[in-house]
Chain A
Amino acid sequence: MPVILATDLIVYFLVAMIVYFIIGAGKEGTVKTAWSELRKNRLAMVSMVFLAVYVMTAVMDCVRWRDPVLMTSGEASRSTDGGVIYSPQALSLLDRAASKMRLNAEKTYSAPFSDHLFTKEPVELPDGRVVRDYPKLKFPGTHWLGTDKVGNDVFFIALKGVRTGIVIGAGTTIIIIPFAIFFGVVAGFHGGFIDDIVQYVYTTLSSIPGVLLIVAFMLLFGNSGYQGGLLSQKEVFLRIFVPNDRLFWLCLILGITSWTDLCRLIRGETLKLRELEYVQASKAFGVSSPGIIYRHIVPNLMHLVLITFVLQFSGLVLAEAVLSYIGIGVGPEMGSWGNMINTARLELSREPVVWWNLFGSFLFMFALVLPANIFGDAVRDALDPRLRYR
């Protein structure tokens, strides 16, 4: 029994975009020239491999289904009306592929690659004496990033955080970019009354403290949503599609609060571009406003969009951490880097320090944000004809 969350759609959309560009790269046109330019950049290619691994992980974590509840005989148990009873837990492809990591839990903290627990406990020796020592692990040497307080594998939790990170980054951006480009360009290009309205809207939005707005919004919509982990009675009833997903609301509100910066930038750039002589020349040909916007304005804005996207991407992943910290981020059952950082707060004040939760989230975020930055820059350069033929 498959289960689709609202946020899965964001990842599917992202994949669809990637496929669209791959098809585009095969045909003549801007995408093809940009791609052939991009291919020359070795650093960008390495970054792309990193990004591809992340996206694949996220996709694997978005394909999930519920297994039937089995009886001891091995048959699926059925309800009185004969329907198969499914477990309230939906396991993703990733969960299943990494089931060893997921299930091989220890008792509590253990350091990376360690063969014993992090804390001393009374251990009974073969001769019957009881001493305080570090007990041996059940699965020594298998936890690459150690285990957390309840013994779960940190590497696996970080891996689960990939989907959350990608969804927050991509989902929010998908909301931001069309809004910002549309309103920014329209306001900048047409000016006058439309400009006044757009400016009024974004000034109002950005004058409300962001966190306040997000908290209010999440408490209103996000609290009842699916938080990861077991599906509730209500969600089981919905069977396949779960629209009320807390992460989805988070993307939405982050998108609503952060499109204004890009919009402001785009409006300013459009104001400059519309006075440029090639736009005037186009007007002298009687080209329609949408035509001018499509051909002359938007392509010359793309560098701004790309830079903002890349910078905001890392900001958004961090925002998720902040929001988890104040308790309105994703649920504790849904692995996320924000939650990991949040837990690390207390762990860092222990003596000796438990550092691997923070390190794990840092490593995973770093390996996503840095390649995203490099790749974004490379894409911007590849789209700019002035930088070609060097």
Chain B
Amino acid sequence: MSTPVIQVKDLKTYFQTPKGVAKAVDGVSFEIPKGGTFALVGESGCGKSVTALSLIQLVPEPAGYIAGGEILLNGRDIAGLTEREKRAIRGNKISMIFQEPMTSLNPVFTIGDQIMETIRLHQRKTSAEARTLAMEMFGKVGLPNPESLINEYPHRLSGGMRQRVMIAIALSCKPDLLIADEPTTALDVTIQDQIIELIREVKESTGTAILLITHNLALVYRNAGTVGVMYAGKIVELTATKNLFRNPMHPYTVKLLRSIPGGEKRGKALDTISGTVPPATSYPAGCHFSGRCPREMEGCASVYPELTERAAGHTVACHLHDPEFMAGGNSKPLRHEPDALPPLTAPYAEREVLLDVRALKTHYPVRKGLFKKITGFVKAVDGIDLTVRKGATLALVGESGCGKTTAGKSIIQLIRPTAGEILFKGSDLARMDERTIKPFRSLIQIIFQDPYSSLNPRLMIKDTIEEGIKVLKPGLGKAERERKITEVLDRVGLTPDMMYRYPHEFSGGQRQRIGIARALAVDPEFIVCDEAVSALDVSVQAQILNLLKSIQRDFGLSFLFITHDLSVVEYIADEVAVMYDGKIVERNSTVEIFSNPVHDYTKKLLAAIPKIDEELVKLWKLPGK
């Protein structure tokens, strides 16, 4: 057997922080053979990206440093190289593509300049040769008309095309290893599919080894040969992809897998992991997952489980699979969560129409010239009809730029629509002014996508939630308002004392809960969830979805769920409307749409979702008795 392209042995990357040493990567070992794909999965903050940065020798210095271990590229240790030697490796032997194609290209250079820069940096080529190679690379990654494209600036390209350019740049020097750090997260579903397909083709034709970093487990299932599940700086399970999905052994892996939403889980709660990843400065002495593990035993927090082969080609770091440990006195379970998940369904009795949108149009004028003459319109929303029933969820799906967010904002009157009717309980919101609409403001609310920009960083949580109550329920006194805030915080799973804190003290999931609490505080009947779970980790996403379902059940709420994530739609929505270019192309019940799509676009959308076989889902059981 030839030497693997990259061998990582007990890699430790630490960061010096005011709170102490943060062990972002704390002893990680893996190897990738030529032409192999290795996937690193885990929640955010587990050290996946830092591992990648360590490989390419770009750990931000001086705060971060490689504290130990070896990184062997074709058998040669690259950790101790000089900066000059490292530069010769970066982009040449190891290259990387990033998550955000919108910002990873420099806007003031043509894409041709940018790829040729890399080529000429690492290869002895004349500019004409580099140009030829650049065009060849563009052709290889499926970009149309390389001859004209080479002179284009990045802003003229769509996100998918930019990601192709990034891949072309990354591959231009025929690297031995390509690191793909969340390469598709920022892209639309159909584009995601194409990019993944492209990476796969490239791997097969060039034999480049790939390190795929992602939190999308379905993507891993489809593309990786070997998977390492990373948790709190360590790999906790390492095996062939087949094995992992057929027989996940670590409780963390099982939990992660079971938190993926999907059609087969409709009506049931999603599995969640309580708590958050511990900060890298203070890991538990024993298993890092102790404290969150559903099968924790007495010795788990103090004894560290080594990563050991427990089945053929299947290594896992968990005491549950260690017969010696299980026979000892430390194996008394501390908690034992049941395997079965509780049902979580909203009562579906009331089916009356709450919101009826008819022929809604929102056009933005395009103004030009000195006197801002209107020269045309951008038809963001161009005549859509929607019906939301009481206690039900309507999902509005579509790719970015199709106008779904504008539609949502038009419905709750954050943007004034151009034409059409928005009948909420029979009254037309579109014809109301700011004064007459006020009684409806408390009934219709919105939850946003980005948990980081949805809360004012300078206001305490109390003030943020109180704002709406003050405006919409002026009759309430100070004490009553406080009681209400306590109540909603409690409802979304936060403690009342948190109201005196500022947003930056919370994690993404907690902030999203606060956003939900803010909307709930004014007793709404209808909530627009604008990509409300898209920015969250899969485990946190599951918590928020469960929360949304349970408040829907308890308060009889209706949701308009705007999203591009179809597995979430399949799990949560009762009805689906597919939007394309400002228009609704298909409307039906979720089951119908997923089993029997009619419109071509819907078919294309559905085909692009990376899916895990349904039979496998039934196999995911927590280990232990």
Contact = CB atoms under 8 A, between A and B. Distances in A.
Interface in B428-463: 434, 437-438, 441-442, 444-446, 448-450, 453-460, 463
A277 B518 CA distance: 12
A284 B446 contact: yes
A132 interface: no
Contact of A281 (B463, B472, B518): B518
Interface string B96-135: 0000000000000000000000000000000000000000
Contact of A280 (B446, B463, B522): B446
A286 interface: yes
B467 interface: yes
A278 B454 contact: yes
Given A286-B434, A287-B467, A386-B502, A277 B458 contact: no
Interface in B494-538: 502, 504-505, 515, 518-519, 522
Contacts of A390: 18
A278 B438 contact: no
A300 B472 contact: no
Contacts of B515: 281
Given A281-B515, A285-B472, A300-B457, 20 more contacts: A277-B448, A281-B446, A281-B454, A281-B518, A281-B519, A283-B414, A284-B414, A284-B445, A284-B446, A285-B522, A286-B441, A286-B471, A287-B467, A287-B471, A295-B463, A299-B456, A385-B457, A385-B458, A388-B502, A389-B505
A282 B467 contact: yes
A300 B623 CA distance: 50
B481 to A, nearest CB: 14
Interface centre among A196, A277, A296, A300 (most CB of B within 10 A): A277
A299 B471 contact: no
Nearest to A287: B471
A114 B388 CA distance: 90
B504 A284 contact: no
A386 B522 CA distance: 27
Interface centre among B414, B455, B456 (most CB of A within 10 A): B456
Nearest to B472: A285
Contacts of A385: 457-458, 460, 502, 504
Contacts of B458: 299-300, 383-385
A276 interface: yes
B422 to A, nearest CB: 14
Given A389-B505, A390-B18, A285 B467 contact: yes
A106 B197 CA distance: 89
A33 B569 CA distance: 45
Interface of A: 196, 276-278, 280-287, 291, 295-296, 299-300, 383-386, 388-390
Interface residues of B, number: 37
B472 A277 contact: no
B456 A296 contact: yes
Contacts of B448: 277, 280-281
A277 to B, nearest CB: 4
A390 B18 CA distance: 9
Contacts of A386: 457, 502, 504
B521 to A, nearest CB: 9
Contacts of B225: none
Nearest to A299: B458
Contacts of A296: 456, 459
Chain A binding surface SS class: helix
B445 A295 contact: no
B263 interface: no
B552 interface: no
18 contacts: A277-B448, A277-B450, A277-B453, A278-B454, A281-B515, A282-B467, A284-B444, A284-B445, A285-B441, A286-B471, A287-B471, A295-B456, A295-B463, A300-B458, A383-B458, A384-B458, A385-B460, A390-B18
A286 B437 contact: yes
Contacts of A196: 372
B412 interface: yes
B468 interface: yes
A282 to B, nearest CB: 6
B467 A295 contact: yes
A296 B467 CA distance: 11
A195 to B, nearest CB: 11
Contacts of A283: 414
Interface string B206-241: 000000000000000000000000000000000000
B464 interface: yes
Chain B binding surface SS class: loop
Contacts of B464: 278
B454 A277 contact: yes
Given A281-B446, A286-B472, A300 B467 contact: no
Contacts of B18: 390
Interface string B466-487: 0110011000000000000000
A387 B457 CA distance: 11
A287 B464 CA distance: 12
A276 B472 contact: no
Contacts of A276: 453-454
Contacts of B522: 285
B471 A285 contact: yes
Contacts of B372: 196
B526 to A, nearest CB: 12
Nearest to B504: A386
Interface in B353-379: 372
B190 to A, nearest CB: 26
Nearest to A292: B467
Given A283-B414, A287-B467, A287-B471, A278 B445 contact: no
Interface centre among A286, A287, A299, A390 (most CB of B within 10 A): A286
A299 B454 CA distance: 16
B24 to A, nearest CB: 20
Contacts of A282: 467
A285 B449 CA distance: 18
A343 B519 CA distance: 66
A21 B441 CA distance: 37
Given A285-B522, A295-B459, A384-B458, A278 B472 contact: no
Contact of B468 (A280, A285, A383, A384): A285
A276 B457 CA distance: 11
A80 to B, nearest CB: 67
B441 A284 contact: yes
Contact of B453 (A278, A291, A388): A278
A280 B414 contact: yes
Given A277-B450, A286-B438, A390-B18, A300 B505 contact: no
A203 to B, nearest CB: 13
Nearest to B409: A280
Contacts of B453: 276-278
Interface centre among B437, B458, B505, B519 (most CB of A within 10 A): B458
A276 B409 CA distance: 13
Nearest to A283: B414
A300 B456 contact: yes
Contacts of B502: 385-386, 388
B435 to A, nearest CB: 9
Contacts of A291: 471
A174 to B, nearest CB: 24
A388 B445 CA distance: 32
B415 to A, nearest CB: 10
A365 B441 CA distance: 55
A278 B467 CA distance: 11
A197 to B, nearest CB: 13
A169 to B, nearest CB: 27
Nearest to A296: B456
A276 B454 CA distance: 7
Nearest to B18: A390
Contacts of A299: 456, 458-459
B455 A278 contact: yes
A284 B444 CA distance: 8
B508 to A, nearest CB: 14
Contacts of B438: 286
A276 B464 CA distance: 14
